[in-house]
Amino acid sequence: MTNKLSGAQILIECLKAENVTDIFGYPGGAVLEIYDAIYNSDINHYLVRHEQAAAHAADGYARSTGKVGVCIVTSGPGATNVVTGIATANIDSIPMIIISGQVGTTSIGKDAFQEADLTGITMPISKHNYLVKDIKILAKVIKEAFHIARSGRPGPVLIDLPKDVAMEKTEYKPITTIDIPTYKPTIKGNAKQVKAVISFIERSKRPVLFVGGGVVIADAHKELMSFVEKTSLPVIPTLMSLGVFPFDHPLCLRFSGMHGLAHANMAIFEADLIIAIGMRFDDRITGKITEFAKNAQVVHIDIDPAEIGKSIPVDLPVVGDAKAVLKDLNSLLKKNLPKKEQWLSRIQELKAKYPLAYEKNTKAIKPQAVVETIAELADEQAIIATDVGEHQMWAAQYLHHRRPRKFLSSGGMGTMGYGVPAAVGAQVANPDKQVITISGDGSFQMNLQELSTISFCKLPIKIIIFNNRFLGMVRQWQDLFYEKRYSEVDLEGKQPDFVKLADAYGILGLRIDNVDDLKPILKQGLDHAGPVLIDVRIEREENVYPMVPAGRVLNQMKYTDKDAE
């Protein structure tokens, strides 16, 4: 007798073959067969309370581990609700599999109940997608999907599975090999071009090393450290790579861009060579593109050839995996290169001239002080997920960032509501680590229903809300560029009591509205064994500085409110 399994059962077997142990999802009519198969499986399913959260949880799971995150949603609105999470993962190159239910194959294209063309919708915002109409290719599709999601430049891959295909039965044969002729990512960089990188460094007088999320994805932090030790290059991580090179290293300039540190921006402006590894020169980093690093030659190392030269002209392209290219560079460097003493001295001058600072000793709670206190009290191995807004930038600026995969944040998409569900995924993936969400009162309310997931699953996540009763970053722009016409950003009296909300979900809620209570109450919350929500009433109209206004050059920064006038 042949071993016949349903499409749903084949899906579960394929997930197990990919070592998937945890998935995030929300059931519905089109995925009932799949959920029935999950019921008798040994895969852990985590019920989110909104499909967007399923994608963000899978995303946080992937960012914190390097593994492929998996989520499952039903057809129609369930599928469209996951779109924001797919776009968020796609632009930040996060390996993820999204399994969406679909109406039966005979109903596709007929406006059936809860039908949505998810493959059409997600084509521009996913690495790849599949609509599986034949059960006989299902196992092959799943194998391909995982390979595509995790290899090359990672990204989200959608598998749209019609209900009748999930119900149909066929003989299951595990797929153990894979070959996609049209998909062959380049891993090893061209030998001549790799060798030329060293020549560029030797000829330069003011080089900087620009390090992006691709170095984190490639798990190349050790190779990066070795390369820096051999070359003594100043290092500028991007938002997506915070922690890949420790902030307290003397050669680290922290990060650059719109809200990056002033000395990092000035170093880019003065550099004569930029070596970019695994980053894409997005507009928040470059400022005015035509004026970006005008005096510098650019070496761009990236596994995605489409990124090289897309935004910034490149003098030396190297297509390859960050880890592989750094290994080759380190092997070519038989001895350390001479230090650029004059340039390193200038870097120290810039650090001294442009320190990261804020007004202290005030009665109001400064958000920067909250981040500094979190950094002081949190476990050294803590994973911190942020939402998007001012609090995100303060966290990027003032946390210590010593290890990779410890700072999870939506970069390219800037997705409000990312932080709490991403923390859910990170906590599931790292049950023995402290997981903290830094959120704003606006962002938090985008996915606050996930307090139910946290409570029900007994996840000891600590949520710290920077509550200024504003949509803070939008307010900052209205403050600086729209003559303080605060249009629809003032939330005073328009939001719930977050402490009572936490209590309603069975979560410990704490509030801090006094400077003297900041450290003791944060410590109480971080030391608590279960989940905690801490509502911190920060100064209402504190702005994030430094700031490079949109369309300006990196050296045209604003440092204070007075400077912004």
What is the share, in percent, of the chain residues with pLDDT greater than 90? 94
pLDDT tens-digit readout, 519-556: 999 999 999 999 999 999 999 999 999 999 888 999 88
Pairing of strands 207-211, 235-237: parallel
pLDDT tens-digit readout, 135-184: 999 999 999 999 999 999 999 999 999 999 999 999 999 999 999 999 99
Catalytic site residue from 24, 33, 51, 547: 51
Q: Is the pLDDT of residue 564 over 70?
A: no
Q: Is residue 558 part of a domain?
A: no
173 is catalytic: no
Distance in angstroms (rounded) separating the CA atoms of residues 430 and 37 = 26
51 is catalytic: yes
One domain for residues 326 and 246: yes
Global pTM reads: 0.96
Note if the bond before 237 is cis, omega within 30 degrees: no
pLDDT tens-digit readout, 449-497: 999 999 999 999 999 999 999 999 999 999 999 999 999 999 999 999 9
One domain for residues 162 and 230: no
CA atoms within 13 A on the CB side of 531: 24
Distance in angstroms (rounded) separating the CA atoms of residues 500 and 510 = 9
One domain for residues 232 and 167: no
Tokens 């797919």: give the residue.
Answer: 86
Number of structural domains (the chain) is 3
Q: What is the pLDDT of residue 565?
A: 52
Q: Is residue 360 part of a domain?
A: no
Distance in angstroms (rounded) separating the CA atoms of residues 397 and 254 = 8
CATH number of the domain that residue 108 is part of: 3.40.50.970
CA atoms within 13 A on the CB side of 217: 29
Q: What is the pLDDT of residue 114?
A: 97
| Domain boundary residue, one of 353, 378, 403 | 353
Write the CB contacts of 396 (distance below 8 Å, at least 6 apart in sequence).
239, 242, 255, 259, 386, 407, 409
One domain for residues 309 and 427: no
Q: Is residue 564 part of a domain?
A: no
Catalytic site residue from 446, 473, 547, 557: 473
pLDDT tens-digit readout, 351-405: 999 999 999 988 999 999 999 999 999 999 999 999 999 999 999 999 999 999 9
Q: Is residue 181 part of a domain?
A: no
Catalytic site residue from 16, 18, 67, 114: 114
One domain for residues 166 and 34: yes
| Type and span of the H or E element at 535 | strand 532-537
Q: Is the pLDDT of residue 559 over 90?
A: no
| Domain boundary residue, one of 171, 205, 231 | 171
One domain for residues 298 and 395: no
One domain for residues 436 and 300: no
113 is catalytic: yes
Q: In angstroms, how far is CA 62 from the centroid of its own chain?
A: 9
Catalytic site residue from 163, 340, 351, 462: 163
Residue 289 near residue 311 (C-beta atoms within 8 A):
yes
Q: In angstroms, how far is CA 129 from the centroid of its own chain?
A: 21
Distance in angstroms (rounded) separating the CA atoms of residues 177 and 232 = 43
Find the DSSP H helices in 434-510.
Answer: 441-444, 451-456, 472-481, 498-504
CATH number of the domain that residue 292 is part of: 3.40.50.1220
473 is catalytic: yes
Q: Is residue 179 part of a domain?
A: no
Which of 129, 401, 351 has its CA nearest to residue 251?
A: 351
Q: Is residue 185 part of a domain?
A: no
Residue 221 domain boundaries? 191-353
114 is catalytic: yes
Catalytic site residue from 113, 136, 359, 481: 113
Distance in angstroms (rounded) separating the CA atoms of residues 314 and 274 = 10
